[in-house]
Structure 1
Amino acid sequence: MTRNTILVMILALTAGLVACTGQKSDPDKFRKGWTLAWEDDFDGKTGLDTWSKIPRGKQHMSRYMSDNEALYILEDGLLVLRGVENAGNNAEIPFLTGGITRQGVKKNSVSRVEVRARMNPVAGAVPFVSLLPSDGTGNIAIDIMERYGYDEFIYQSVTSQYTTTEGMPDNPPSSALVGVNPNQFHTYGVETYPDSVVFFVDNNRTKKYPRILTDIPGQFPFNDMDLDLFIGIRLNKDTDSTELPVDMFIDWVRYYEPETNN
């Protein structure tokens, strides 16, 4: 074997090792008992083709939503959603925010949704990941993650007629505070079942909200309707405009269905 042949073989082996180590390793992507039905890693190849921008509306979440391209930035394999001051003396609203939505959980189904994200803090800014009724029914939500201002924790909660109008947020407890550093990337997840909603952070179970027997209406509506996935930034009237822009960095979104033995 000649010296040149040996050198070529060494170079080829080295290139192979670099190619292998350069691959993004994600052992949690494929979960036991679950099938990955779809994912979006925002690599820029498809843009936001599978998503819709949240339209401006009267709800607190959408009052400042805009389709302005400056609020939706795809770079380095991330989607950056932004909230900014709406500058100008003739501005109709004080802020503009970015948010995306797509079909989420079908009624009478079992599913798992995960979003890996981080955010930079601004007083009065609330990044969120939520499941909301597809038909626009109000007062119903599964909030997979909400972070208020500079809080060093996030909220995970459910909202329904039972928890609000009927005044029963504590039986069973409808929300949990999870201590994390939201400035760092974390994976926020939820599993939906006919009899419960189970929350996760970084694959650690943080809370379960069950269906219970009760004569009080509206306790567990989440299995009875289609729920769409909403990701975005909410700004409040007390948001400190001098701290803007506020950004939410989304690495990926994944949707799982139960594994079948076909």
Structure 2
Amino acid sequence: MRNILFINAAVVLVFLACKTHDVALPVTMGGATDTRKLIWSDEFNEPGLPDSTNWKYEVGGNGWGNNELQYYTDQRTENARVENGKLIIEARKEDYKGSKYTSARLVTQGKVEWKHGRIEALAKLPAGRGTWPAIWMLGKDITKVGWPKGGEIDIMEHVGYDEGVVHGTIHSEAYNHVKKTQKGGEVRVKNVATEFHLYAIEWTADQIDFFVDDQKYYTVQRAVLGSEVEEWPFEQPFFLILNMAVGGNWGGQKGVDESIWPQRMEVDYVRVYQ
């Protein structure tokens, strides 16, 4: 998720070039298939508000550094709830505390963070111009060092005006969207808004691989980027973020269709393997 609330200065990243793959990816319900073990998950089996032992809310309507239109609410079931075994993050068109839209942004910050492993989420995305869902991570020290120095890993981003193109990206101080130097790949996936797909990264000390439905479409390697912390800010714990923005510099690049709301991202589960 493009986030410039925490601007600081200087990390160098290089990347492996990636092409857009125009393929139909089959839905797979699997997880890690090697020797890694499941160390954390939220299966979203308990109806009501999301589990407070796993998640907290980031709240506000300040544009989030991207000129977003929504107000992220706190413990409001209209915007974040568990029902029928799914987490629902719902963006709604309504006047709320000075904003014209509401939504939710859930984070594991201060609850649980991870360094390395496979992080995956089975999700169905919203549709329509102005929707901008994301499954992503920020470094644990973000509040101390700021963004982008703390690092960012975007497991999945999707903007509604470009339906079916899923993005996976990393950010650092020198390579980020503010400078238009961010490093990432994209893959075309059919039926992102009508079917569940598995979005994942596999993250080691040496590289980060990006997957949709267990099909790898992008890799970034430490050997290419460099081993200094300024070049590879990924040797620290990261926390997970699930959110759905409305509009913004990217999501609203072609306007917001005011007729489509409410829209939702549904998450069947989130799992972490190490």
The TM-score bracket by the shorter chain reads 0.7 to 0.9
Q: CA-atom RMSD, angstroms?
A: 2.8
Aligned-pair identity in percent equals: 22
Question: Within the alignment, does 1:200 sit opposite 2:203 as a pair?
Answer: no
CA 1:65 to 1:165, structure 2 compared with 1: closer, same or farther past 3 Å?
closer
Write the letter of the residue equivalent to 1:48: D
Alignment of 1:135-150 (within 5 A): 135-136=141-142, 137-139=146-148, 140-150=151-161
Q: Which residue of 1 aligns with 2:184?
A: 175
Whole-Å Cα distance in 2 between the matches of residues 134 and 216 of structure 1? 18
- For the pair 1:162 / 2:162, whether they are aligned, the reply is no
2:246 corresponds in structure 1 to: 235
User: Per-residue deviation at 1:193?
Assistant: 1.4
Tell me if the contact between 2:123 and 2:267 (Cα under 8 Å) persists in the aligned partners.
Answer: yes
Cα distance in structure 1, aligned partners of 2:170 and 2:43: 27
Q: How far 1:32 moved relative to its partner?
A: 1.7
Unpaired segments ≥5 residues, structure 2: 1-27, 249-254
Match of 2:83 among 70, 75, 87: 75
Q: 1:210 aligns with which of 221, 244, 266?
A: 221
Q: Which amino acid aligns with 1:93?
A: S
Unmatched tracts of structure 1, length 5 or more: 1-25, 258-262
Gap change, CA 1:131 and 1:32, over 3 Å in 2:
same
Task: Check conservation: 1:161, 1:217, Cα contact below 8 A.
Answer: no
**Residue 209 of structure 1: how far off its partner (Å):** 0.8
Is the helix fraction higher in 1 or 2?
Answer: 1
Q: Which moved more, 1:132-141 or 1:174-183?
A: 132-141
The letter for the 2-side match of 1:205 is: K
Amino acid in the other structure paired with 1:228: F
Aligned equivalent of 1:66: 73
* 2:107 matched residue in structure 1: 101
Q: Distance in 2 between the 1:129 and 1:36 partners?
A: 19
**Cα offsets for 1:123-170 (capped at 9, x unmatched):** 111000001123332123110000001422111111111213895838
Q: Is 1:248 matched up with 2:260?
A: no
From 36, 54, 58, the equivalent of 1:54 is: 58
Partner Cα distance (2:154, 2:178) in 1: 19
Q: Residues 118, 215 of structure 1: CA spacing in aligned structure 2 closer, same or farther, 3 A cutoff?
A: closer
- Aligned-partner SS, 2:259: helix
State the secondary structure of the residue aligned to 2:95: coil
Structure 1 stretches (4+) deviating beyond 6 angstroms?
none
TM-score by length of 2: 0.72
AA in 1 matched with 2:118: R
Q: Indicate the larger mover: 133-142 or 157-166.
A: 157-166
User: What CA distance in whole angstroms lies between the structure 2 residues aligned with 1:125 and 1:27?
Assistant: 25
Matched, 1:31 2:43: no
TM-score (norm 1): 0.76
1:220 paired residue number: 232
1:114 to 2:123 alignment: no
Using a 3 Å threshold, how does the CA distance of structure 1 residues 214 and 76 change in structure 2: closer, same or farther? Answer: closer
* Contact 1:162–1:168, Cα closer than 8 Å, also in 2: no
